[in-house]
Amino acid sequence: MLVGLLINGLVSGALYALVAVGFTLVIGVLDKLNFAHPEVLMIGGFVAVVASGLPPYYAFIAAFATGGLLGLVVEFAAFRRFTDADAKITAGLASMAVGLVLTDLTQKVFGTESVSLPIGGGWLSRRFQIAGVEFLNVQIVIVLATAILTGGLHVLLQRTRVGRQIRAVAESPVSASLLGVNVLRVSQAVFFVSSALAAEAGLLLALRSGAASSDIGLTFGLKALAIMAIGGLGDLRGAMLGGLVIGVLEAFMFHLGLGRLSELTVWLAMIVTLMVRPRGLFSSGTHGLEQRA
Amino acid sequence: MISDQLFFTGINVLLAWSVYIGLVTGSLSFAQGAFMAFGCYGAGVLTVKFGWPLLPACLVSAILSAMIAAVLGYPALRLRGVYLILVTIGITFCARVALENIDYVGGVGGFGGMRGADLNAVIVAVLIVGAFLLWFSFSPLQRICDAVREDDRVASSLAINVTFIRLLGFSAGAAIAAIAGALYGHYMNFVRPESFDVLLSIYVVLYVVLGGTNNMLGPLIGATLMTLLPEYFRVLAEWRPTVFGLAILAMLLFRPLGLLAFRLVTAHASVSAPRKSGSL
């Protein structure tokens, strides 16, 4: 029972982490808050609806590509013009407007009700037991996919040329561009990667709940924003840990019969964290490479 | 139906002004939905459960909301920019979930029985708040707020109590939002916690962004346009969020500094020289 609860919490925590990592990547590198991020997450769920007839890995590839392309669109529409530090809030508001448009267009295509996926009873919802603990296949898929994606992100940031450039821009955009880094390409790469992760998270979320709905952006997505703040703005490790911790915490609160009050957990935790330690829990306060990106 | 439309226009204008008065001191608040809910439920409890008339209930709930805002804002307003946005979004979520779990005011099912507000009440409220803002924009207080918004360190070196001024702006915004909420509740007769969603707070802020934050007319125009236009153009009503979002984007793009980087056009035309100003 307890283990099952823990696993449930870890699975939703993994999804939170996947979205929060995207938020934190944008804010860590470009110092901007991307409010269109939750809507990309939401659209990832609808990719699952569209691709439900195909073999599952097509859905994952499609979600990755859709999310990435949407990220490029968001970057172009809401962030390209607002690069200087003064326009931080303006860029946030512009991305909020893009988010409104994305939500509305999605609702025009798929309707405002949630669309259920035709996968009930399939392979994903089958269960198996290891040492007396029941697992759902979809839980394994979510954990594996999250591990692969965040592992891939780590490799991208630490081992590749693009990753080195991203870290350079995170340190200082001006010095990076003086050293020949194309800051525009880097910010496009950041938006591509972070939005692709969000769309994958949306896909996984839809697979888990068996339905895609157009309002998860404002519920699940904004919760991930709060988790990002708890972990520390721009801190990848913090976003991962924060996601897992909050996921488990919520599962236990829910189990204790607090019902919808457990929705308060993450927001109260965020408000308290920001009051006491505005830099976030895990950020050690230095802007070293490891901390920021 | 014209009176319905005018009523909602008035409510939205009040809400837009409540955001504006916070912005004047440099704090962008997404907690307007929460303060509207406080006002609505507070006044509703007073009129329905205690039998008060609408006017005193409105005023008391506005004062209560201002006090709640002061308590919440005192620690929150030390944070600026992105942090303040996050905390105010959090306040909106918490308020909604809290209301859904208080059975005294109906919980998720909603709270009903308020009545008594009509179009005239809103017009009076808009006129009073408008007159206050007009007085404010010609008063020395406006220039103190300008100083706090543009550079709080300089302001505090000029013996301005920055925290107090920002708290004042935040609380005044909360009070205005509470009045809007109280009138809204007593006009609709029935409200649910989900009426005061975070989406509402986002919309209200975007009204202000669309209309402009330089003076009190901007929010008025933004809110009026976005409420009334969809009523008269079918296409706009159908595609409301899209058109609204694109309008915001266009506004922000064609004024590259962004509407939030204030061009100092105060009521005093003589100091209207445009200059690049600091971020929020």
Tokens of A266: 């993450």
Give contacts of B278 with chain A, Cβ < 8 Å.
86
Q: What average pLDDT does range A89-116 have in this prediction?
A: 89
Chain B residues 129-188 with CB within 8 Å of chain A: none
HSE of A78, CA atoms in CB hemisphere, 13 A: 33
Angle, CA of A65, A68 and A71, to the nearest 5°: 150
CB distance from B250 to chain A under 8 Å? no
Q: Given CB atoms, is A268 within the 8 Å cutoff of chain B? A: yes
Chain A partners within 8 Å of B91 (Cβ): 271
CB pairs under 8 A between A and B: 136
Q: Do B276 and A263 touch (CB under 8 A)?
A: no
Percent of chain B with pLDDT over 90: 34
Indicate the pairing of strand B111-112 with strand A127-130.
unpaired
Q: With an 8 Å Cβ cutoff, are B209 and A225 in contact?
A: no
The residues, ordered by sequence, that sit 6+ positions from B58 with a Cβ below 8 Å of its Cβ are B39, B43, B179, B182, B183
In the chain, the amino acid numbered A37 is H
Range of the domain at A112: 2-292
A292 band by pLDDT with thresholds 50, 70 and 90: very low
Read off the amino acid at residue A63.
A
**Cβ count within 10 A of residue B124:** 13
Decide: A184 and A15 in contact? Cβ < 8 Å: no
Q: What pLDDT sits at residue A121?
A: 53
Query: Can you tell me the distance from the alpha carbon of A226 to that of A91, in angstroms, rounded to the nearest whole number?
Result: 19
- Nearest chain B alpha carbon to A105: B242
| H-helix or E-strand spanning residue A133 | strand A133-136
Per cent of chain A over pLDDT 90 is 36
B-chain residue closest to A279, CA distance: B83
% of chain A residues with pLDDT over 70: 92
Q: For residue A120, name the pLDDT band (cuts at 50, 70, 90).
A: low
**pLDDT tens, residue by residue, B153-166:** 888 898 888 889 99
Contacts of B201 (CB under 8 A, 6+ apart): B29, B30, B31, B32, B33, B34, B88, B89, B92
**pLDDT at residue B40, as a whole number:** 93
Q: What is the DSSP string of A83-115?
A: -SGGGHHHHHHHHHHHHHHHHHHHHHHH-SSPE
B103 touches chain A (CB under 8 A): no
Top residue of B74, B80, B200, B252 to mutate, by most chain A CBs within 10 Å, is B252
Interface test with A, best of B19, B80, B86, B200 (most A CBs within 10 A): B86
Domain count, chain A: 1
- For A114, residues 6+ apart whose C-beta sits below 8 A from its C-beta are A211, A212, A213, A214, A215
CB contact under 8 A, B248 and A233: no
Mean pLDDT of the B93-115 span: 84
Answer yes or no: do A33 and B82 touch at CB < 8 A: yes
Decide if A101 and B259 are in contact by the 8 Å CB cutoff. no
Give the closest of B85, B94, B199 to A92, CB-based. B85
End-to-end CA separation in angstroms for chain B: 40
* Contact present, B114 and B189 (Cβ < 8 Å): yes
Q: Is A255 exposed, middle or buried (0-12, 13-18, 19+ CB in 10 A)?
A: middle
Chain B hits for A88, Cβ within 8 Å: 81-82, 279-280
pLDDT tens digit sequence for A167-218: 998 888 888 889 989 989 999 999 999 999 999 999 999 988 888 888 888 8
How far is it, in rounded angstroms, from Cα A281 to Cα A229?
9
DSSP annotation string for A10-30:
HHHHHHHHHHHHHHHHHHHHH
* pLDDT, mean over chain A: 85
Residue B194 distance to chain A (closest CA, Å): 12
Per-residue model confidence (pLDDT) at position B255: 66
pLDDT at B39 over 90: yes
Q: Count Cβ atoms below 10 Å from residue A256 Cβ, excluding itself.
A: 10
Burial of B246 (0-12, 13-18, 19+ CB in 10 A): middle
Mutation target among A75, A100, A272 for the B interface, most CBs of B within 10 A = A100
Q: Which residue, A26, A279, A33, A151, is CA-closest to A287?
A: A279
**Domains defined along chain B, listed by start:** 2-198 (1.10.3470.10)
Q: Please tell me if residue A47 touches chain B, with a CB cutoff of 8 Å.
A: no
Spatial distance between the Cα atoms of B189 and B185, rounded to a whole number of angstroms? 6
CB contact under 8 A, A86 and B85: no
Residue A274 near chain B (CB below 8 Å): yes
State the CATH number of the domain containing residue A203. 1.10.3470
B235 shares contact with chain A (CB less than 8 Å): no
| Residues of chain B numbered 59-98 and touching chain A (CB < 8 Å) | 75-76, 79, 81-83, 85-87, 89-91, 93-94, 97-98
Cα→Cα distances A143→A18, A79, A211, Å: 11, 32, 19
Q: What is the pLDDT of residues A127-161, one digit of tens each?
A: 777 776 777 788 888 989 999 999 999 999 989 99
Contacts (Cβ under 8 Å, ≥6 apart) of B219: B13, B16, B17, B19, B20, B207, B208, B211, B212, B213
Write down the ipTM of this complex: 0.86
Whether residue B237 lies within 8 A of chain A, CB to CB, comes out as no
Direct distance between the N- and C-terminal alpha carbons of chain A, in angstroms, rounded to an integer: 37
Give yes or no for A109 touching B (CB within 8 A). no
Looking at the predicted structure, is the pLDDT value of residue B275 above 70? no
User: Mean pLDDT throughout B15-21?
Assistant: 93
Q: Are the Cβ atoms of A267 and B90 closer than 8 angstroms?
A: yes
Among A38-47, A98-107, A129-138, A283-292, whose mean pLDDT is lowest? Answer: A283-292
Contact assignment for B249 to A77 by CB distance below 8 Å? yes
DSSP string, B27-74: ---S-HHHHHHHHHHHHHHHHHHH---HHHHHHHHHHHHHHHHHHHHH
| Contact in structure between A29 and A186 (CB atoms under 8 Å) | yes
Residue A173, judged by CB atoms within 10 A of its CB (0-12, 13-18, 19+), counts as: buried
Q: How far apart are CA B178 and CA A113, in angstroms?
A: 31
Mean pLDDT of A93-109: 91
Q: How confident is the model at residue B173 (pLDDT cuts 50, 70, 90)?
A: very high
Cβ neighbours of residue B269 under 8 Å, at least 6 residues apart?
none
Cβ contact B244–A275 (<8 Å):
no
What single-letter amino acid sits at B68?
Answer: I
- Predicted confidence (pLDDT) at residue A59 exceeds the cutoff of 80: yes
Q: Which residues of chain B neighbour A105 with C-beta distances below 8 Å?
A: 242
Note the pLDDT tens digit of each residue in B194-241. 888 888 999 999 888 888 777 788 888 888 888 888 888 877 778 888
- Quickly state the pLDDT bin for A122 (edges 50, 70, 90): low
From residue A251, give the alpha-carbon distance in Å to each of A9, A10, A78, A173: 5, 9, 36, 40
pTM over 0.80: yes
Q: Which pLDDT belongs to residue A128?
A: 75
